[in-house]
Amino acid sequence: MEAEETTSREHEMSKIHYKLTDHEFVRGMDHHRRTHKNFYIAIVFFACLALYLSTNSTDANRWNSYSFTFFYYASATISFAVISYLLLTLIGRRTSARNFKRSPFAQLNLTAEWDKTALTIRHNNGHQRYEWKDFQAWSEDANIITLFYGPQLVIPLPKRAFRPHQQDNFKAHLQDVGIKHSKLMPI
């Protein structure tokens, strides 16, 4: 009897119930976007190149006018790239939220259960089982834990669904099964 009670308590500690909001869905997609660093690396590269070319000269008079022109165009190009990136990100977030609200997935009550081998997401229409060995990474912010399953598949789990200490146990479980914690870019 006591063993059954302990097993039942352990099972409840590895289960959360939630209904995903559009904001949480967008945050999960945002985590996916923020794991890709190529854009930031390109900006830093071109900024360093512009700085290098503007400070190293052989013929001071000729180079100063060339340096200023190059630095002006490089700055304008980098500024345009940053503004374009921010606008595309804003448009992408709004589009993701709108598409999520229109999808049947937005209306589902979800239950996430986990054990030593897999994460299972249950809902009214069925369930999906994801083996831990297939997950690539996970990340978190103040409101959500995001699991990265594939190149375009993220599983957002809202922190509001976790009971006290359950969140810490879940994160420890992710580390125990070998899923790495992914660092996110600031924007």
CB of 158 closer than 8 Å to CB of 143 = yes
Residue 126 is inside which H or E element, if any? Answer: strand 126-131
Residue 134 and residue 87 in one domain: no
Q: What is the pTM of this model?
A: 0.72
Residue range of the domain that includes 17: 2-28+103-181
- At 7, which CATH number? 2.30.29.30
Q: Is the pLDDT of residue 91 over 70?
A: yes
3-state secondary structure of 144: strand
Give the mean pLDDT of 40-65. Answer: 63
Q: Which two tokens stand for residue 121?
A: 């997401």
Q: Please tell me what DSSP assigns to residue 20.
A: -
pLDDT digits (tens, 9 = 90+) for 101-110: 998 888 899 9
pLDDT at 8 over 80: no
Q: Which of 12-16, 41-45, 60-64, 169-173 is most confident?
A: 169-173
Residue 51: the pLDDT is 67
| Judgement on whether residues 62 and 47 belong to the same structural domain of the protein | yes
| Residues 141 and 163 placed together within one structural domain of the fold | yes
Nearest alpha-carbon partner for 159 in 10, 13, 18? 18
Pair (96, 150) in one structural domain:
no
| 91 vs 36, residue with greater confidence | 91
Query: Does some domain include residue 147?
Result: yes
